[in-house]
Chains A and B, each alone.
Chain A
Amino acid sequence: MLEIKDLNIEFHDHSKPETVVYDFDLSMEEGDIVGIVGESGSGKTMSALALCGLLSRHDMKKTGRILFEGKELLTCSRSEMRKLQGKEISIIFQEPMTSLNPVKKIGWQVEEALRIHEKCSKEECYERAIWALREAELPEPEKVYGQYPHELSGGMRQRVMIAAAIVCRPKILVADEPTTALDVTIQSQIIRLLQKLNREQKTAVLFISHDLSLVRRLCRRVVVMQNGYIVEQGDVEEVFLHPKEEYTKRLIAAIPSCDPGKPRRPRPAGTVLSAVNVRAGYRSAQAFLKSGDDKEVLKGISFTLGKGEILGLVGESGCGKSTLAKVLVGLKKDYEGEVECTGGRGLEGQPQEGEASQGKVRMVFQDPYSSLNPSKTVGWILEEPLRLSGGFSKAERRKRAEQMLERVGLGREVAARYPRQLSGGQRQRVCIGLALMSEPDVLVADEAVSALDVTIQAQILALLARLQEEMGLAILFISHDLRVVYQLCDRVMIMRDGEIVEEGTPQEIYFHHAHPYTGQLLEAAGLSAGA
């Protein structure tokens, strides 16, 4: 049905022509389900966009052939391509928050493809839109039809995207990281939905992801890409169990494993951070002269963090993880309960009095692209904490910043660069370095590795573990990724709706969990209990 041969894609809008995809080959039959796996920059999305005709015709040079049912897509006219787009070939994107038009009703957006491609009456359009919404397993499709995107959750929006994509019953559905922005439980529901569509509608699915375990669960065949080249392709189980290429082996090795026999450190004696019955909330819809309703996000959180301990905090989005982090680092001041950080090391050689005698909590954020000031150099950013605390000469500040860069595995020359000149992994190293500049007692890492590729993720995890060891740091590691938490943390807390439902060592939580919600999370992540 679909045959891609020797596809090369070259960028021309950048400073120099740059090839992003080399000799891409892929063939798909009806009802196939194929995964493309690769890290960012591997060209996986580019190949898919080329298939959908969504790449610029001016700035990019494409050579090779894309045959869809005998028709050449690379050379056909725009109007011919348009007849296929949305009808025979549909796409769903990663970000459900931006891929729907916020000022149009859901029904209108789902019907859009019908209005363009098929002559059908209003009633017929309505019927088919409702069918598609039901097919995408949205509860109460009639109600959703009349709603606006902002009234729906992320998972529901992604279902609406799927409904809009399948309303014309396409032959191929391209899914570009459709679950990356979603929670694990929603993620596994979307995966099941794609499987069902594939089975019942015979829709071929081209699933693009960086998540190998997801691809393994969903797809029959897999294509592994690196730097624009196809490294390896074949049957999923075959590739996973007997990878031939070095890169595939590395990728698979970078998936954190949950080995029940992993040795654990004994629980440390002293406590460095403790929270007692912390409650916090937000006012929704705050407006002039009008107070909104209070929404309680943290409903009495108590926990302690030991000296040099790495504590994992796991929960889905909206459970209050980030709010807790804000309370701990002092970004959110209107909370009830007690938070005490008793570290009191301060900067070496500095007298400690007043606030300085209190322990310091610093934070590493999720998105390495927004957590560094784009208009300052890395060196300036790293020196800022020293500038604020005062008492350091210019040369001293510079020396310390350079030492920190080396400590987090970057070269001294990085100090002169701007954040935009660094890769995501390098930026996250700088963020960690910045957090450590003021020699904190506790580091709060809020989804610090979630936005990174697997191999980079593994490096950053190793860095965190090493720094913890070297500096005797306590880390609160917030994540939704159970595998990562298992690998890194000494102790795990499971959080749901502002409450901590379960707490224990990774072994206890992962293999002998007590709370049913923990079980749900583990199952959604493909880590069913006892396995």
Chain B
Amino acid sequence: MMGAETVKKKMNFNLLAGAVLTGGMLLWIAVGFFYLPYDPEAMSLELKFAGMSLSHPFGCDNYGRDIFTRVMVGARTTLAVALGTVGIGAGIGTLVGAVTGYFGGWLDEVLMRVIDALFAFPSILLALVVISLLGSGKYHVIWALGIAFIPSFARVVRSQYLLLREMDYVKNARILGCGHFRIMFVHILPNTLGVLVPTLMIGFNNAVLAEAGMSYLGIGVQPPDASLGRMLSEAQTYLFTQPIYAIFPGLAIVVLVLGLSLLADGLEAAR
């Protein structure tokens, strides 16, 4: 039986677990700005594939670099790329979706055809095109992926605006004399959060994976810089001989993604 307590407990559990995982991860990343146990790029032949030990808790990689340190730095890069990507995609996507859904008419037709055109390309391919125009590098990857992420946000937000603009409270706001801008962003936007937040979470997960894919192709984060995706793709070669190399960056991705998902779930339920 699902009593009041069970429901509440479940909700609190999500919130708590999400907060602990995300908070822990963020703290770990933040510490990296002030203190790193080793130089993340210092190579050492003796330490090649050194196992877990007290001085190297996650072991060392194929160049003898400390994996613990590199995960610390790599998670920072990955988080920045993912946040930047989702920020650009969701920001522009929401704006486009809001405008097209709210106003409709020719504006909708024109903007949505552009979005459709963006949608027609696989996002990695689209990112490749942008990279070849801008050149590779961390910030270019963010822009490339961010642009590729616009369509999915625009579509979701537009459908919500189409639905919500017909609600009586929106009509009432117009009667009261609200401007379009105020109606769109003060009256309607908060009501799309129920759909927007899960989309953000999915987008964030996809961005982490897309960054890994881009780095794997060699057009994302450039060596010797570390990112979780870059480390995973390097570790892939040694997956069967040195699984430890893959496990810790992978675990970091899982904790990051899972923590944020749980946090979003918990916040949604607590609202």
Contacts and interface: CB of A to CB of B under 8 A. Distances in A.
Contact of B169 (A16, A330, A371): A371
Given A16-B3, A375-B191, A331 B171 contact: yes
Nearest to B187: A373
Interface of B: 1-4, 7-8, 106, 109, 167-169, 171-178, 182, 187, 190-191, 193
Interface string A364-375: 011100111111
A305 interface: no
B167 A370 contact: yes
A441 to B, nearest CB: 14
Contact of B177 (A17, A371, A388, A434): A388
Given A373-B191, A374-B191, A434 B172 contact: yes
Contacts of A384: 173, 176, 178
Nearest to A381: B169
Interface of A: 12-13, 15-17, 288, 329-331, 361-363, 365-367, 370-376, 381, 384-385, 388-389, 431, 434-435, 438
Nearest to B104: A286
Nearest to B167: A370
Contacts of B177: 385, 388-389
B190 A376 contact: yes
Contacts of A362: 175-176
B7 A375 contact: no
B178 A388 contact: yes
A373 B176 contact: no
B4 A15 contact: yes
Contact of A365 (B1, B7, B171): B171
A134 to B, nearest CB: 37
A13 B2 contact: yes
A173 to B, nearest CB: 34
Given A367-B168, A370-B168, A371-B168, A329 B191 contact: no
Contacts of A431: 172
A39 to B, nearest CB: 23
Nearest to B179: A388
Given A374-B191, A376-B190, A365 B2 contact: no
B176 A385 contact: yes
A362 B173 CA distance: 10
- What does DSSP make chain A's interface, helix, strand, loop or mixed? loop
A15 B191 CA distance: 24
A375 B190 contact: yes
B174 A288 contact: no
7 contacts: A13-B2, A331-B174, A370-B167, A385-B176, A385-B177, A388-B178, A438-B176
A373 B190 CA distance: 9
Nearest to B110: A288
B175 A15 contact: no
Contacts of A367: 168
Highest count of chain A CB atoms <10 Å: which of B168, B178, B191:
B168
Contacts of B169: 370-373, 381
Contacts of B174: 330-331
A385 B182 CA distance: 12
Contact of A331 (B8, B175, B190): B175
A250 to B, nearest CB: 30
Contacts of A372: 169
Given A363-B175, A388-B177, A12 B1 contact: yes
A366 B106 CA distance: 31
B176 A388 contact: yes
B176 A365 contact: no
A13 to B, nearest CB: 7
A431 B173 CA distance: 12
B32 to A, nearest CB: 37
B172 A365 contact: yes
Contacts of A371: 167-169, 172
Contact of B168 (A15, A330, A365, A388): A365
A16 B172 contact: no
Highest count of chain A CB atoms <10 Å: which of B177, B178, B182, B193:
B177
Highest count of chain A CB atoms <10 Å: which of B4, B109, B167, B176:
B176
Given A12-B1, A15-B4, A330 B187 contact: no
B244 to A, nearest CB: 45
A363 B172 contact: yes
Contact of B175 (A12, A16, A329): A329
Contacts of A12: 1-2
A474 B193 CA distance: 39
A384 B1 CA distance: 43
Contacts of A434: 172, 176
Contacts of B3: 15-17
Nearest to A330: B175
List the 10 shortest-distance A-B pairs measured between CB atoms, nearest first.
A371-B168, A375-B190, A365-B168, A15-B4, A373-B169, A370-B168, A16-B4, A370-B167, A329-B175, A375-B191
A388 B190 CA distance: 19
Given A363-B171, A376-B190, 16 more contacts: A12-B2, A13-B2, A15-B3, A16-B3, A329-B175, A330-B174, A330-B175, A331-B175, A362-B176, A363-B172, A371-B167, A373-B169, A373-B187, A374-B191, A388-B182, A389-B177
B176 A375 contact: no
Nearest to A363: B175
Nearest to A380: B186
A373 B109 CA distance: 28
Contacts of B173: 373, 384
A352 to B, nearest CB: 15
Contacts of A366: 168
Contacts of B8: 15
B176 A288 contact: no
A74 B127 CA distance: 59
B7 A15 contact: yes
B123 to A, nearest CB: 27
A9 to B, nearest CB: 16
A363 B175 CA distance: 8
Highest count of chain A CB atoms <10 Å: which of B3, B4, B106, B175:
B175
Nearest to B3: A16
Contacts of A389: 177
A370 B1 CA distance: 33
Contacts of B2: 12-13
B269 to A, nearest CB: 12
A362 B174 CA distance: 10
